[in-house]
């Protein structure tokens, strides 16, 4: 019990107690020099703990009295531990009393020091805004090259670190103000700085990602282009670009980024039209005539970039019309094939005539009549379409 109790009390008095003395008397290590610890929260807990330990120390003292009365042999270590117990408890009691007597003075000093930190933090906010107004962050020439974009991204990384540290300082000051029960300073400029920094960083990071991603798309072989996937990713970049335009109205790079994404997006309809699986040789002949180039769809050299460099987007309406017509013609061909399959698979029911084994007559023709009626409706629909031209002879 001596050893256990002395160890416990020694830990509190030798560690927590020493920290309390060094930090102005708060037994839970209250902050004095800006180390982030709360002010004075542990005094009440320390007093309660002291009372409990004094009660336990009294119990140990009673045990020692019984030991002496009945001449029970004890070791030197046990007797020394009991003496150290009393001394440590007395030292802790003095430290708590000292802390209670200096709390108000320490709090006033903390408030004064905190007031001196606010202008320093606000100066960091001003410097953050100045950094974000650097002309290179809106320089179109830097945005046009890989090296230029990397230079700006490195600059933004340093600015991000500065802004992050400023945000932490502002939050720390507010936390101290709450702990000291004084008015919490609203740092609106810190929030504005955070939003502005996030907008500029997102713009340049998205621009760099766009340049890399769009370049990969342009290298894709045309026959393997996944237009749906590209469209979804372009929509994400366009959203970022539009947000950048709204949040950074005077930033020329935001306008440049938006123009790049929009221009690429506007080419996707013609790419989708050219990727229509319904296009047949007759359609490609029309397309080749329109763009003035004969496309070799099987060539590995025909990439998306090569195709767009031919200016196919300038003939977008004509190509989309051909692609739409090809789709409609394919639908009619599929309807006609369905009619053909019905009659190819339809079986006539034959029944023997009376008792004859060699003469047969038609049985029920209900299925035949139903198939005929359906086929006439489908053929009428096909022949009435303005896209029936390529298969008109077959339909008739």
DSSP assignment of 222-255 equals GGG--HHHHHHHHHHHHHHHHHHHHH-TT-HHHH
Please, which residues have CB within 8 angstroms of residue 301's CB and are 6 or more apart in sequence? none
Q: Bridge partners of 221?
A: 303
pLDDT band at 385 (very low <50, low <70, confident <90, very high): confident
Average pLDDT on 350-375 reads: 80
Q: With a cut of 60, say whether residue 46 has pLDDT above it.
A: yes
Q: So what's the pLDDT on residue 253? A: 95
Q: With a cut of 90, say whether residue 192 has pLDDT above it.
A: yes
Q: With a cut of 90, say whether residue 19 has pLDDT above it.
A: no
Radius of gyration of the chain (CA): 43
The pLDDT tens digits for 195-207 are 999 999 999 999 9
Angstrom distance (rounded) from CA 310 to CA 330: 28
Nearest to 214 by CA among 236, 198, 247, 199: 236
User: What values do phi and psi take at 30, rounded to 5?
Assistant: -60, 145
The pLDDT tens digits for 252-311 are 999 999 999 999 999 999 989 988 888 898 999 999 999 888 888 778 888 999 888 888
- Give percent of the chain above pLDDT 90: 37
Average pLDDT on 166-175 reads: 94
Q: Where are the alpha helices (DSSP H) in the chain?
A: 2-11, 17-22, 43-69, 76-132, 140-143, 146-179, 188-219, 227-247, 252-274, 281-291, 304-309, 316-345, 366-383, 392-395
What is the number of alpha carbons within 13 Å of residue 200 lying toward its C-beta? 30
Q: So what's the pLDDT on residue 44? A: 65
Q: Bridge partners of 175?
A: none
Name the average pLDDT for the chain: 83
Which residue did the predictor score with more confidence, 2 or 100? 100
Per-range mean pLDDT, top range of 30-34, 80-84, 288-292, 366-370? 288-292
Q: So what's the pLDDT on residue 245? A: 93
Average pLDDT on 19-45 reads: 44
Average pLDDT on 374-379 reads: 85
pLDDT band at 355 (very low <50, low <70, confident <90, very high): confident
276 is written with which tokens?
A: 């229509």
Q: Name the residue ranges covered by the structural domains of the chain.
A: 2-113, 136-275, 327-395
pLDDT band at 20 (very low <50, low <70, confident <90, very high): very low
User: How many CB atoms sit inside 10 A of residue 171's CB?
Assistant: 12
The pLDDT tens digits for 306-345 are 888 888 888 889 999 999 999 988 888 888 888 888 888 8
Angstrom distance (rounded) from CA 77 to CA 396: 118
43 is written with which tokens?
A: 């005094």
Q: With a cut of 70, say whether residue 59 has pLDDT above it.
A: yes
Nearest to 196 by CA among 243, 149, 143, 259: 243
State how far the alpha carbon of 53 is from the alpha carbons of 59, 85, 220, 330, 396, in Å.
10, 10, 77, 92, 108
304 is written with which tokens?
A: 């998306």
- Give percent of the chain above pLDDT 70: 88
pTM value is 0.65
Q: So what's the pLDDT on residue 188? A: 93
């Amino acid at each position: 019990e001596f050893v256990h109790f002395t160890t416990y009390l020694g830990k509190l008095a030798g560690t927590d107690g020493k920290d309390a003395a060094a930090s102005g008397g708060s037994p839970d290590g209250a902050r004095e020099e800006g180390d982030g610890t709360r002010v004075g929260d542990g005094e009440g807990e320390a007093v309660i703990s002291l009372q409990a330990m004094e009660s336990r120390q009294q119990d140990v003292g009673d045990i020692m009295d019984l030991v002496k009365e009945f001449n029970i042999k004890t070791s030197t270590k046990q007797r020394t531990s009991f003496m150290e117990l009393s001394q440590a408890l007395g030292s802790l009691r003095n430290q708590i009393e000292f802390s209670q007597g200096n709390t108000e003075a320490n709090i006033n000093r903390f408030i004064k020091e905190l007031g001196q930190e606010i202008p320093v933090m606000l100066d960091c906010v001003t410097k953050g805004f100045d950094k974000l107004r650097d002309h290179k962050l809106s320089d179109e020439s830097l945005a046009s090259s890989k090296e230029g974009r990397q230079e700006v991204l490195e600059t933004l990384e340093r600015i991000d670190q500065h802004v992050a540290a400023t945000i932490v300082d502002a939050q720390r000051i507010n936390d101290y103000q709450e702990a000291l029960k004084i008015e919490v300073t609203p740092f609106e400029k810190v929030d504005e700085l955070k939003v502005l920094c996030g907008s500029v960083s997102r713009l340049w990071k998205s621009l760099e990602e766009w340049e890399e991603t769009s370049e990969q798309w342009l290298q894709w072989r045309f026959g393997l282009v996944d237009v749906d996937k590209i469209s979804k990713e372009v929509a994400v970049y366009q959203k970022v670009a539009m947000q950048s335009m709204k949040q950074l109205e005077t930033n020329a790079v935001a306008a440049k980024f938006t123009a790049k994404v929009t221009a690429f997006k506007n080419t996707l309809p013609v790419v989708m039209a050219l990727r229509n699986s319904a296009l047949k040789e007759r359609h490609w002949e029309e397309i080749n005539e329109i763009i003035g180039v004969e496309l070799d769809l099987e060539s590995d050299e025909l990439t998306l970039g090569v195709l767009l460099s031919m200016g196919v987007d300038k003939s977008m309406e004509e190509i989309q019309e051909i692609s739409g017509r090809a789709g409609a013609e394919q639908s009619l061909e599929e309807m006609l094939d369905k009619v053909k399959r019905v009659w190819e698979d339809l079986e006539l029911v034959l029944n023997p005539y009376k008792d004859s084994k060699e003469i047969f007559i038609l049985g029920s023709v209900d299925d035949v009549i139903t198939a005929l009626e359906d086929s006439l409706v489908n053929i009428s629909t096909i022949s009435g379409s303005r896209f029936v031209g390529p298969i008109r002879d077959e339909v008739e």
